[in-house]
Structures are given as structure tokens and as C-alpha cells.
Amino acid sequence: MERIPILKMGRLLLVTIQVDMHDRLAMTLQDDLMARIVKENAKGVLIDISALDIVDSFIGRMISNTAGMAKILDAQTVLVGMQPAVAMTLVELGLTLPGVSTALDVERGIKLLQASLE
């Protein structure tokens, strides 16, 4: 079955979303991610969406929910690599991604998480 890989880097987890998310894939990702946060005792989650040209309300909600779940498990979520057009669309859709921090790229996202962990 198709799965989105979750990469561990120290106490952070990195997810790169490259494919269109359908319902089941999104649910699997959430399940996998929560299981990994607990298993690896992760303190931060980076979600890279630089490959996505379009983020619709489904993915927007999915990311927002994932961040909420991660927060309950004591892990902070940073969304990285958002394309300018995606940011414009999200605001036009009224999706402001509450509870999700953002950073321009993975490198800045890692710095942001490490700063908040210290």
C-alpha cells in the first residue's frame, strides 16, 4: 500500500508530501505520524509541502488536524516550503492554519524547532 515515509532526524520527524493526498492516504499518514511521535519520543514534526502546487481545503484541514494531534502528544509542527501561490490560495479559502507554525524551508524549520526545544 502507498505510504508517505516519515524520516527521523534526532528528535524531529520529517514528512515530505509529494503526491496528491486522498482520504485514505491522509488517514494513514496521520496514524503513522502519531505512532512515530510516541515511538521516537519526537518533539517536533516538519511537514514539507514544497512539491505541492495546490493545497485545497482538505489538505489544509488535514495539516491543521495533524498539528493539533501532534501538540497533544507534546510535539510541535512546522509547515515548510509553502509556495507563494499556495499561501495566497489558503488565505482566499479562509484557511489560516491555526496552531501551525511555518518556515520558508526545511533548514529554517529545523532551526525554529531546535530554538523552541532548548
Q: Could you list the residues that contact its own copies (CB under 8 A)?
A: 3-5, 7-10, 14, 16, 18-19, 48, 50-51, 81, 105-107, 110
Shortest distance, position 13 Cβ to its own copies, whole Å: 10
- With respect to its own copies, which residue has the nearer C-beta, 61 or 111? 111
- With respect to its own copies, which residue has the nearer C-beta, 50 or 102? 50
- With respect to its own copies, which residue has the nearer C-beta, 3 or 39? 3
Residue for cell digits 530554538?
115
